[in-house]
A and B are shown apart, each in its own frame.
Chain A
C-alpha cells in the first residue's frame, strides 16, 4: 500500500541512482534513529536500577517549625565576642569542640578561626564553618550529586557517593572543604557510629568532608559542638523560619538581631548567599585589644589517642 502511494506521488526517479534516499528509507532511518535515541533519557535511571543506590539524602526527615514549615538553619557569629580564645589561653574552643565531637581527622578544621587584618594594623578573629550557601558553587559542580542542598538549607556530603574528584574544593570560595588524602584514623568508639551525611563518622579515605551544620543535633534540641564549645558565647544557632537564634545563653529574634547590628556575609559579591552571618567586631565585648595578635594552634587530641595514623599537612 505504502509502496503504491510512493510510486504515485514521488514523480520520476533520479536516473543515475546516485543516492537512493527515498522516503521509505529515510523514514526507516529516522525511525531507527528515534529508537536509538529514545533510551538515552532513561539510561541513567536504568543504570541506577541495576547498580543500586538511589538518590542521596540526609538520613532524617527535615525539622519543622511550629507553623509546619521546614526549619531554615542559620548561624550568626558575633565577632565582638570572639577573641580567638586569647582570654582562656587555649586554642580556639569552637574548633576543639567540633574536632572532639566529630572525630575530625587532622589537619581538618571544619570550623576554622582565621585571623583577618583590620585597617590600621589590628586583627580580628573570624570563626568560619561551612557557610551553607543557598547558591552553593560546590553543589553546582559535583558530577555525582555526592554533595547536595537539603530542604533545611544546609549543604551535606555523602561520603559513600563521593568519587574524590575534588572539583567542589576548587569551586568553594571559602576554603571550607577538606580531603582525606590518606587513610584517616578511626577511634574505636567511632566504629560503632551510624554513618550519615549529617554525622560523617567514621571518615573514609579519598572523599571530601566539611562542616555539616549539625542538623541531626539541632532536631533533638541540642546546639552544635562549636556553639557549645565557645567560652564567650559568640556563636548563635537558630532557625530563620521561626526567626529565632540562641547562643545557649540568650535567645534573640534573628531578623532584628541581624538588622540592628550591621550583619554581613562573607564575599557577598560572589552571589553564593551564605546562611552564616557575621556581626562585625574584633573581640571588644570581651575586652580584646585588636593589636594583641595570634591564637594558639589547633590540636587533635583524639588522633593522638588513636596513634599510628599517617598524618598529612594542610
Chain B
C-alpha cells in the first residue's frame, strides 16, 4: 500500500508540476507557435480583403488545400478518439496514460478543423445561413450535423473522464493553485467525492460514451466522404468512398496514438509502464490497416480500370503516370507498403521503427486527402483542356497557421488540465497490487 501511495504521489507531482511550472522551452514553443498563427491570420485577412482570388483555386478545381486539410484533420482527430475508445472497451491497461492526450488532441484538432470549411467560403459573413436556411438534402448540412455531434461527444468524453482528476486538483492543498484554477476545478469536478456510487456511475458513463463514440466515428467519416461521393464526378461518385474514408481515419488514428504514446512516454518517463510490447501491438494493428488500405485501393482501381467506363482512363492516367503520380506512388509505396514492412521486419520492429512508420502514415494520409480532392476535380467535364491547381502562399500560410493553432491549443490544454489521467493510473496500480501481480 505504501509503495502504491508513494508511486501515486510521485506521478501526481510530476503531472501537476508540468501544469504549474513554466519553463523557458515552453515559453519559446508558445511564442513561436503564436508567430506562425499570427502569420496565418494575416494571410486570411488578405483573403478576406481580396476574396478567394488570392488562392490557387478557380472554377474547375474549386476545392483544394483547405478542404483536403479539413478532411485530414477531422480524420486524424477522430481516429485518435476512436482508438482510445476501442482500447478502453477492450480493457487494454496501457491505454491509461495516453487516452487523455489523445482526446485532448482530438478536441484541439477538431476545433481548428471545423474552421477550414468556413475559411473556404466565398461569403464567410453568411455562414449562419446554413443554420437559418439549412436544407436536410445537402451533404454540407449533413456534415454540420455530424461534426457538431462529434464535437459534443468528444467534449463529453474528455471532460467526463476528467472529473476525478478535477476533484483531485480541487482538493490538492498548497502552492501554485491560483484562484481561477480553484474555481475551474471546483466547477468541473461536479461535486465528486469518490464514493462507491459515484465511481460506478462514472465507470458506466465512461463505457457508454466509449461505445457511443464508435458508431459516431463511423458515421462522421462516412458523411464526410459523402460530401464528395454525392457529386457526379469520376472517382468520387463511388460506393466505396464512405468505407474508404472510415478506414483511412482509423489508419491515421492508430498512427496518431503511436506518436502520442511515444511523446508521453518520453516526457513523463513511463518507460517501465509503456513498453516496446505495446508499440509492437499497435504496430501490428497499423500493419493490418496498411493491408486494408491497399485492399481498398486495389478493389476500387481494378474495378474501374478493368471496365474503363467514362472518364476513368483520364483519371487513372493522371493518377498513375501523370500529374498526380508522385503523390499517388508516395502514398501507395511510402504510406502503405513501407509502414507495413517497418512493423513486420524484425530489425525495425522496435519503438523507433514503429514511430517512424506512424509518422510516415500521418504525412501520407495528408497527401492522400489532397489528391483525392484535387485529382477528381481535374477530370474535364466538357471538351476543354484540364486545369492545373497549385495552392497559393495564402492557402499554405492559412493551413500552416491552423496547424500551429492546434499546437497552441494543446500547449494551453496541458497547462490547465492534467495530461495524464491520474485517477485511472492510480486505479490500475491498486488493482495490480491487490492481485499480487504487476499489472498487464
Contacts and interface: CB of A to CB of B under 8 A. Distances in A.
B383 A115 contact: yes
B123 A164 contact: yes
Contacts of B382: 112, 114, 128, 174-175
Interface in B324-354: none
B122 A205 contact: yes
Contact of B231 (A116, A141, A143, A179): A141
Interface in A135-194: 137, 140-145, 161-167, 169-175, 177-183
B121 A177 contact: no
B51 interface: yes
Contact of A144 (B117, B133, B139, B230): B133
B59 A179 contact: yes
Interface string B53-73: 101011110110000000000
A175 B62 contact: no
B128 interface: yes
B232 A167 contact: no
A221 interface: no
B298 to A, nearest CB: 26
Given A51-B132, A114-B383, A164-B123, A180 B51 contact: yes
B121 A167 contact: no
A310 B123 contact: no
A115 B139 CA distance: 34
A297 B164 CA distance: 71
B117 A312 contact: no
Contact of B129 (A161, A167, A172, A208): A161
Interface string A267-294: 0001010000000000000000000000
Contacts of B50: 182-183, 310
A47 interface: yes
A248 interface: no
B149 interface: no
Point out which of A114, A141, A205, A208 has the most chain B C-beta atoms below 10 A from its C-beta: A141
A133 to B, nearest CB: 11
B133 A175 contact: no
A140 B137 contact: yes
A181 B57 contact: yes
Contacts of A170: 62-63, 228, 231, 233, 377
A38 B132 CA distance: 18
Contacts of B232: 137, 171, 173, 270, 272
Interface string A13-57: 000000000000000000000000000000010011001010000
A159 B63 CA distance: 20
B53 A181 contact: yes
A169 B59 contact: yes
Given A163-B126, A173-B232, A116 B383 contact: yes
A179 B134 contact: no
B138 interface: yes
Point out which of A116, A179, A180, A313 has the most chain B C-beta atoms below 10 A from its C-beta: A179
B9 interface: no
A137 B133 CA distance: 19
B51 A183 contact: yes
Contact of A137 (B130, B231, B377, B380): B231
A207 interface: yes
B398 to A, nearest CB: 16
A117 interface: yes
Main secondary structure of the interface of B (DSSP, over half): loop
Contact of B133 (A116, A141, A145): A145
B155 interface: no
B180 interface: no
A305 interface: no
A114 B385 CA distance: 11
Contacts of A165: 117, 120-122, 140
Interface residue tally of chain A, by bracket? 35 or more
A206 interface: yes
B140 A44 contact: no
A177 B140 contact: no
Contacts of B134: 44, 143-144
B122 A179 contact: yes
Nearest to A206: B122
Contacts of B57: 181
A171 B229 CA distance: 10
Contacts of B121: 163-165, 206
Nearest to B232: A173
Given A145-B135, A163-B129, A314 B58 contact: yes
Interface in B202-238: 227-228, 230-233
A167 B139 contact: yes
A182 B140 contact: no
B132 A166 contact: no
Given A161-B129, A165-B121, A142 B51 contact: no
Given A141-B231, A167-B231, A114 B384 contact: yes
B383 A167 contact: no
B130 A312 contact: no
Given A167-B227, A175-B60, A179-B122, A141 B140 contact: yes
A46 to B, nearest CB: 10
B297 interface: no
Contacts of B55: 181
A141 B63 CA distance: 15
Contacts of A142: 135, 138
Contacts of A53: 132-133
B51 A205 contact: yes
29 contacts: A44-B133, A47-B131, A51-B128, A114-B384, A141-B138, A143-B135, A143-B140, A143-B144, A161-B129, A163-B121, A163-B127, A163-B130, A164-B52, A165-B117, A167-B140, A167-B227, A172-B381, A175-B380, A175-B381, A181-B51, A181-B57, A182-B50, A206-B122, A208-B122, A310-B50, A310-B53, A312-B53, A313-B58, A314-B387
Closest 3 CB pairs of A and B: A164-B122, A206-B122, A182-B53
Given A128-B382, A167-B138, 10 more contacts: A53-B132, A137-B232, A140-B138, A141-B140, A163-B122, A171-B230, A175-B381, A181-B51, A181-B52, A312-B53
